Amino acid sequence: MHVPGPPTESLSDALFAARHDEHWGWALVNGRNRVWTVAQMGAREGYRVAVGFQRDGRLQRLLTDAWLPPAVAQRLAHAGPLSGLAHHTSRDLHPPLVQSSTARTLARELIERTVRRPRQLTVRDSYERMLALGADFGKWSAEVFAAHRPVSDRDAVFAYNTGAFELLREAAARGVPSIVDQVDPAQADEAAIREEMERWPGWAQHEGRIPSAYWDRLGAEWQCATAVLVNSQWSKLAIVAAGVPVSRVIVVPLAYEPETPDALRLDEVGSGADLRVLWLGQVNLRKGFPYFVEAARLVRDERIQFTVAGPVRISARALQTLPSNIRVDGHVSRARALALYRTSDILVLPTLSDGFALTQLEAMSYGLPVVATDRCGDVVEDGRNGFRVRVRDSEAVAAALTRLASDRDELRRMSLAAVSRAAEFTLDRYIRSVDEGLATVCRAMAP
């Protein structure tokens, strides 16, 4: 599939060529010497990328749409319409390194939530809003970047898809190497959803197509960036199929550092009469929820109980067909999610398409083996800390659960292996991989 061009002012071929020929010589500097501008909308992953570069003493600045002092954020958590902004903070970041458009973001949120009449957004509405916010943030961050001191041979930019085009274009014009983090498998996600809607008619809570302008913007960002970063081999396959040259794609698994590290209480793993199975995350077709339901139905006569926690995007009619061994909690707080990890035995993730699925590492850090497909981050080592199953294979999921329900010693061995596996995905490892990945792409592009 051909990568779409930029949605508005296109990056000229001459400028694109100049970026590679005139400026690329100094971009081959050792990756660990670079200083980074990180730009992101929202509080994705608790600003881990910026935190990682700051630990190395190489964060030039974090550009973000809203930033609050921790004390203010804590009070805002109970402020009704603005409570969603309470996570826009981090005690790990040095405030002078953060630049934000907080006042504008707060005003916009207040207007949208209190003045404009709330309504259920369609798929098109949601993506058009995302595009508008992305373009607004991209223009602001590009202006801030352009006003910065003259670039040096150490500067680099890291930004996230949808809010990055204008900044990436500015970086390219100034000869600054850049990375755009494509957080999901892009068109492969929509393809999976469309196929599932045909397989499971009436299950989707909301139907609709993603507007072409969204894919155009992603294509423009991929074109402008020096490298496109993804978090899994599945995402790499997806964006290469969408037209990104394989030589410009780098795969860097996400990092995870437990918020409140707990010692694994081995005597409590699998200690209940029933095996406690957890689903945590969006409850929708893309995540493979119908196959989770089928697996539960296959083991309904076993001592296995299922808890489903996360925003529900499945129709009420479909929910009425669930077997009695499934309990649906719906959206839960972060504290409740961590409590569920502590009181569950295994996580099931039968996803059809995911950029990574950080819940895998979260669950493993609490000693939960994971049953997952190969359409997400390569975390599970089959038979060691969980099971890898084919997509849409409810019988394989059911067999894995039955096996662990009947062999608690194996469950405990997998629990220990899961904790060990989660500990491998450190932030330092992530940052090192980002540096090395960009350096490799730059060397390949050098004349």
pLDDT greater than 50 at residue 267: yes
Q: Using 50, 70 and 90 to split pLDDT, how confident is the model at 3?
A: very low
Please indicate, yes or no, whether residues 238 and 311 belong to a single structural domain of this protein.
no
Note whether 146 and 177 are within 8 A (CB). Answer: no
Q: Using 50, 70 and 90 to split pLDDT, how confident is the model at 367?
A: very high
Buried b (16+ CB within 10 A) or exposed e, 206-233: eeeebbeebbbbbbbbbbbbbbbbbbbe
Please indicate, yes or no, whether residues 313 and 193 belong to a single structural domain of this protein.
no
Looking at the chain, the whole-number percentage of residues with pLDDT higher than 90 is 74
Q: What is the pLDDT of residues 307-329, one digit of tens each?
A: 999 999 999 999 999 999 999 99
| Within-domain flag for 7 | no
Q: What is the pLDDT of residues 411-425, one digit of tens each?
A: 999 999 999 999 999
pLDDT greater than 50 at residue 14: no
Please indicate, yes or no, whether residues 332 and 349 belong to a single structural domain of this protein.
yes
| Within-domain flag for 6 | no
Q: What pLDDT does 13 receive?
A: 36
| Within-domain flag for 261 | no
CATH at residue 287: 3.40.50.2000
> Domain total for the chain?
2
Please indicate, yes or no, whether residues 416 and 433 belong to a single structural domain of this protein.
no
CA 194 from centre of chain: 21
Note whether 282 and 314 are within 8 A (CB). Answer: no
Phi, psi of 112, deg, nearest 5: -70, -30
| Within-domain flag for 68 | yes
Q: Supply 129's token pair.
A: 């809003």
Q: What pLDDT does 25 receive?
A: 41
For residue 70, what are the contacts with CB-CB under 8 A and spacing of at least 6?
A: 89, 90, 91
Please indicate, yes or no, whether residues 233 and 135 belong to a single structural domain of this protein.
yes
Q: Using 50, 70 and 90 to split pLDDT, how confident is the model at 2?
A: very low
| Within-domain flag for 5 | no
The residue ranking higher by pLDDT, 257 or 195, is 195
Range picked from 171-175, 205-209, 339-343, 348-352 for highest mean pLDDT: 348-352
| Within-domain flag for 1 | no
Please indicate, yes or no, whether residues 405 and 440 belong to a single structural domain of this protein.
no
Spell out the SS3 assignment of the chain.
Answer: CCCCCCCCCCCCHHHHHHHHHCCHHHHHCCHHHCEEEEEECCCHHHHHHHHHHHHCCCEEEEEECCCCCHHHHHHHCCCHHHHHHHHCCCCCCCHHHEEECHHHHHHHHHHHHHHCCCCCCCHHHHHHHHHHHHHHHHHHHHHHHHCCCCCCCCEEEEEECCCCHHHHHHHHHCCCCEEEECCCCCHHHHHHHHHHHHHCCCCECCCCCCCHHHHHHHHHHHHHCCEEEECCHHHHHHHHHCCCCHHHEEECCCCCCCCCCCCCCHHHCCCCCCEEEEEECCECCCCCHHHHHHHHHHCCCCCEEEEEECCECECHHHHCCCCCCEEEEECCCHHHHHHHHHCCCEEEECCCCCCCCCHHHHHHHCCCCEEECCCCCCCCCECCCEEECCCCCHHHHHHHHHHHHHCHHHHHHHHHHHHHHHCCCCHHHHHHHHHHHHHHHHHHHCC
Please indicate, yes or no, whether residues 140 and 272 belong to a single structural domain of this protein.
no
Mean pLDDT of the chain: 88
Please indicate, yes or no, whether residues 384 and 433 belong to a single structural domain of this protein.
no
Q: What is the pLDDT of residues 67-105, one digit of tens each?
A: 988 888 877 767 666 677 788 899 999 999 999 999 888
pLDDT greater than 80 at residue 265: no
Please indicate, yes or no, whether residues 133 and 90 belong to a single structural domain of this protein.
yes
Q: What pLDDT does 31 receive?
A: 65
Among 35, 32, 28, 70, which Cα is nearest to 50's?
35
Q: What pLDDT does 79 receive?
A: 64
CB 82: neighbour CB atoms within 10 A?
18
Phi, psi of 183, deg, nearest 5: -75, -15
Q: Which domain holds residue 392?
A: 266-422
Q: What is the pLDDT of residues 190-231, one digit of tens each?
A: 999 999 999 999 999 877 889 999 999 999 999 999 999 999
| Within-domain flag for 399 | yes
Q: What pLDDT does 114 receive?
A: 66
CATH at residue 65: 3.40.50
Please indicate, yes or no, whether residues 161 and 185 belong to a single structural domain of this protein.
yes
CA separation, residue 46 to residues 49, 88, 121, 254, 423 (Å): 9, 8, 27, 12, 18
Sheet holding 370-372, edge to edge: 326-330, 304-309, 275-280, 346-349, 370-372, 386-388
Please indicate, yes or no, whether residues 297 and 181 belong to a single structural domain of this protein.
no
Ramachandran region, residue 413 (left: φ > 0; alpha: ψ -120 to 50; beta: rest): alpha
Looking at the chain, the whole-number percentage of residues with pLDDT higher than 70 is 87
Distance CA 262, CA 237 (A): 36
The residue ranking higher by pLDDT, 447 or 200, is 200
Please indicate, yes or no, whether residues 128 and 271 belong to a single structural domain of this protein.
no
Q: C-alpha angle 308/314/316, rounded to 5°?
A: 100
